[in-house]
Amino acid sequence: MRTPVPLEHSPTATLTALRRFLLALLLAGIFGTGAELLLLGHTEDTWQLVPLVLMAASLVVLAWHAVYRRRLSLRIFQATMLFFVISGFAGLLLHYQANVEFELEMYPSRKGLELFWEAITGAMPALAPGTMMGLGLLGLAFTYRHPALARPPHNNTTNQGETP
């Protein structure tokens, strides 16, 4: 005779707990990174506002999903998280380019590995935008096989000669 699995140890309960943990990590990352960007004055131009706007948008979409729990809200959240990843790559390039320009202004003869090293460790944290990539991937992990994304069963009963 099989012993029933307690409800709190079922695969569904485990996935729900993991999903909540991922969401908590994501929210902590969004609020922490957003606060840091605001404290650093990361608001001087349009490009610097992109991560803050994306973070605000993700919170709005998450609130929408918390209330309605629809497939559409989760799909839009996934798109927002994809933009997080894209903005992280863009930020890496922008930070690196700004550091290269600064280094070349200060030391025009720098090139090659020396220029790369000085740019990557320069005044603007060149790898900091990678945080956006990590947050985006965390958000996408939260949505992986989410129950709200499950399609309802399709009724395959058709009359003969009818195409589905």
What's the pLDDT at 159?
47
Is 118:110 a contact under the CB 8 Å cutoff?
yes
Could you tell me if residue 30 is inside a domain?
yes
Does the residue 61 lie in any domain? yes
Q: Is residue 79 part of a domain?
A: yes
pLDDT, position 10 = 85
Tell me what percent of the residues of the chain surpass a pLDDT of 90. 74
What would the mean pLDDT of 50-56 be, rounded to a whole number? 98
**Average pLDDT value over all residues in the chain:** 89
Please state whether the predicted TM-score (pTM) of the whole model is above 0.75: yes
Considering the domain boundaries, does residue 123 fall inside one?
yes
**Residue 2 falls within a domain, yes or no?**
no
3-state helix vs strand vs coil in the chain, percent to 5: 70, 0, 30
- The total domain count for the chain is 1
Which range marks the domain in which residue 92 is found?
A: 15-144
Query: Contact 85/136 with Cβ under 8 angstroms?
Result: yes
Average pLDDT over residues 92-106: 94
